[in-house]
Amino acid sequence: MEERVTETGLLRGAALAVACAIMLSACSGDLVPRGRVASAPKPPPPVRAPAQPAMETRQCFAKLQSQAVAFTPLPDRNFGGGCSAVNSVKLIDIGVPTTGIGAITCNLAANFAAWAKFGVQPAARVIFGAEIEKIETFGTYNCRPIAGSGKLSEHAHSNAIDVSAFVLSDGRRISIQKDWDGDKQTRQFLKIVHASACKRFNTVLSPDYNAAHRDHFHFDMGGRGGFCR
Ligand SMILES: [Zn+2]
């Protein structure tokens, strides 16, 4: 019976929440009377079952579902050498056919799916009057350092993806390598999808960044964000 939250208790909590909102910093967020915490039943002993994904990951899975993305959660894996695939999924359908995607962190997957649907597809319709039939990638997970550095790439954490080309419904294929300096229309398309990527991913690298990126866009969710080249 002690567990039941009374109407009076709810009202008191609501009043306190309002007071907190007004005073902003004065409350620590503990709206449960101390006596109630003390009388709560002891939690069951920890069960050594497969770990539940963290709250953040479960929220991300829910986000993918709300985006109508079909996916399978992958078990967290440690591959040694600092390489891992944690909070990752296998994408089945993001709404735009995409090749080469392996294990990909949920956060990156959600942003990639949104970029494909709301950045790439509309740009192709407006500029070429065509649909995107396929986005080609060089993949996601790869246990390797950043080119020319001893530091592990975000690819080593399945937290990066390399996009190499776009195939249109009129048969045209736009590749980063061939078309980055292509005709005006194609350059405009690539500029738009690049700018759209910069709004969604923490790091975006294009052929403008360095020679290692002459044939693809690199997107990752590492770092603090705002790195757009
Ligand atoms: Zn990359």
Per-residue pLDDT, 5: 41
The CATH architecture assigned to 57-228 reads: 2-Layer Sandwich (3.30)
How many A from CA of 181 to the centre of ligand 1? 20
Query: How far is 184 from 181, CA to CA, in rounded Å?
Result: 9
Profile the chain (229 residues) by mean pLDDT over runs of 10 residues. Answer: 40 40 37 43 53 86 97 96 97 97 97 98 98 98 92 97 98 97 96 98 97 97 93
Question: Widest CA span of the chain, in angstroms?
Answer: 74
Residue ranges per structural domain of the chain? 7-39, 57-228
Per-residue pLDDT, 44: 55
How many A from CA of 146 to the centre of ligand 1? 8
pLDDT in tens, 10-67: 444 444 343 334 333 333 333 333 434 445 555 555 544 456 778 999 999 999 999 9
The three-class DSSP label of residue 70 is: strand
How many A from CA of 155 to the centre of ligand 1? 6
How many A from CA of 173 to the centre of ligand 1? 21
The DSSP 8-state label assigned to residue 152 in this structure reads: B
The DSSP 8-state label assigned to residue 212 in this structure reads: G
How many A from CA of 147 to the centre of ligand 1? 10
How does strand 77-80 pair with strand 83-85? antiparallel
Per-residue pLDDT, 172: 97
Query: How far is 218 from 194, CA to CA, in rounded Å?
Result: 10
Per-residue pLDDT, 148: 87
226: exposed, middle or buried (Cβ count in 10 Å: 0-12, 13-18, 19+)? exposed
**Strand locations in 94-202 (E):** 98-99, 104-105, 132-139, 160-168, 173-175
How many A from CA of 19 to the centre of ligand 1? 49
